[in-house]
Amino acid sequence: MKVRLEKVKGTRDLLPEEMAKRRWVFERIRGVFERYNFHEVLTPTFEYTLLFQLRSGEEVVEQLYAFDDKGGRNISLRPDMTSSVARLFVNQFQNAPKPVKWYYIANMFRYEEPQSGRYREFWQAGVELIGSERVEADAEVIALFVESYLATGLEDFTVNIGDRILLDEFAKMLGVEDDVGLMRLIDKKDKMSRNDFIGALKEFGLSEEAVGKVLSLIEIKGEPSEVLPKAEELFTSEKAKEEIKRLYELVDLLDAYGVSKWIRIDLGIARGFDYYTSVVFEAIAPNDLGIGSIGGGGRYDNLIEVFGGKPTPATGFAIGIERLIPILEWKGLIPEPKLRPEVYVIPIGAEAELRKTAAEVVTALRRAGVKADVELTGRKLRKALDYAGKLGVPYVVLVGKRELEEGKITVRDMESGEQRTVEKEKVVEEVLALLGL
């Protein structure tokens, strides 16, 4: 009985054209990461489930691909890289010179309901800067975040900056003990109608007055010069004042980095992960695709210690590749990939000498840096030329018996139809000249 097997829900098959576009995006982001002196790391695809439980609690298991392996060990496919990178740092790099600057481009897995821009297997490009508590580290990472998007050609976006310390202080002002629960609720505000959000706040236990204060808080967003003075009026505790001062310093530094055009303050940003401790941020690019945040990050000064390391400050971000690429395509920013070879070599006949010469020629072209292919199916000349035409190959090298007996080979321009016979030893030189290489 024949069985038709489909791909697993929430996953995708990426065809050559899609992979070429993906590589184009990766190369541009990687280039910026490395110019900022971040170095690439890669951790195992799976970790002990306990790693993610320590970070986010028992309930996180529902969002993981968690299972017992054949040795009875409970492991999970990684849902993000921050935890794995923090574990790597604790294992091997606690005594390394600081800061440690690492980046990654890798696939992640979460057991969530698939929707626009969200899959169960997805890719992220991100960085982690470990070992500096200073605001300069926050500025470095956020500037890199902005520059990464700019490197792909995207300019219509904003990076919205919030602060978990200010949200904690806000919860204290309201007398809320479950500040994490309140932050999770605030984090979901954009996915709910205003009435549903108000209803959820009341169900959470907030009074009418407290609900009004929350609604006022989430409206404090916009240009830093307008928002931060409002924050100073709202927050009165010394801890909040110190954090607002830090935000002023951050904004000044981001101006020095030349990225202030894309920076906004939004005190209603909580970000989903509980481990953030101070500045948080996310990127939003307006679109008609139903895609929200295209990346985000923040400071997580306690995570290294949670995983058994010495207290170590850290900050970082992750760019959502599955969300970024559709927006770049929608805006026409990714060049159409050229998957065709530059030269196609065709032996005109089945004789061993012709096939051997064709193999020698295509090898010489490839070693000279030319994208070259060779006829492998034994097609007759007309069908082989038709195939080369469908590929869009600009030049064809014809290896014919009569010409080869004279030590020559024919090079054909597929657009004009013009042909030129050259010495076999000069065919690479001829092709390179035609290609302008």
| pLDDT band with cut points at 50, 70 and 90 for residue 253 | very high
Confidence of residue 43 (pLDDT cuts 50, 70, 90): very high
The model's confidence at residue 272, banded by pLDDT at 50, 70 and 90, is low
224: Cα separation from own chain's centroid: 27
Q: Taking residues 201-212, report their average pLDDT.
A: 79
- Dihedral, 230, 231, 235, 238 alpha carbons, nearest 10: -120
Cβ atoms within 10 Å of 301's Cβ, excluding its own? 16
Q: pTM of the prediction?
A: 0.91
- Binned at pLDDT 50, 70 and 90, residue 14 comes out as very high
396 vs 386: CA distance, rounded Å: 11
The predicted pLDDT at position 275 comes to 84
Q: How far apart (Å, rounded) are the C-alpha atoms in residues 6 and 331?
A: 31
- Give the residue-averaged pLDDT of 328-354: 95
Residue type, 243: E
Between residues 306 and 213, the one the model is more confident about = 306
**Any idea which of 7-16, 26-35, 104-113, 190-199 has the lowest mean pLDDT?**
190-199
Q: Note the pLDDT of residue 273.
A: 60
CA distance from start to end of the chain: 54
Residue 183 above 80 pLDDT?
no
Q: Is the pLDDT of residue 284 over 80?
A: yes
CATH 3.40.50.800 residue spans of the chain: 343-435
Tell me the pLDDT tens digit for each residue of 209-226.
777 888 888 788 999 999
Closest of 293, 415, 397, 391 to residue 339, by C-alpha? 391
Q: Of 219-233, 242-256, 370-384, which gets the smallest average pLDDT? A: 219-233
Residue 25 reports pLDDT greater than 70: yes
Q: Which residues of the chain form CATH 3.30.930.10? A: 16-330
What percent of the chain is modeled with pLDDT above 90?
79
The residue to which tokens 């600081």 are assigned: 98
* Architecture per CATH, 16-330: 2-Layer Sandwich (3.30)
Give the model's pLDDT for residue 334: 97
Question: Quick check: 248 pLDDT over 70?
Answer: yes
How does the average pLDDT of the chain come out, rounded?
Answer: 93
Q: What is the pLDDT of residue 181?
A: 73
User: What is the model's pLDDT at position 189?
Assistant: 74
pLDDT of residue 268: 84
Q: Which CATH class is domain 343-435?
A: alpha beta
DSSP string of 11-57, one letter each residue: -----HHHHHHHHHHHHHHHHHHHHTT-EE----SEEEHHHHHHHH-
Most confident option among 50-64, 188-202, 278-292: 278-292
Length of the chain counted residue by residue: 437
Contacts of 167 (CB under 8 A, 6+ apart): 179, 182, 183, 186, 267, 270
User: Is pLDDT of 426 > 80?
Assistant: yes
pLDDT value, residue 172 = 84
- pLDDT for 342 equals 97
What pLDDT was estimated at residue 194?
A: 82
Identify the band that residue 242 occupies on the pLDDT scale cut at 50, 70 and 90: very high
Q: Following DSSP, what letter does each residue of 192-246 receive, concatenated?
A: S-HHHHHHHHHHHT--HHHHHHHHHHHT-EE-HHHHHHHHHHH--SHHHHHHHHH
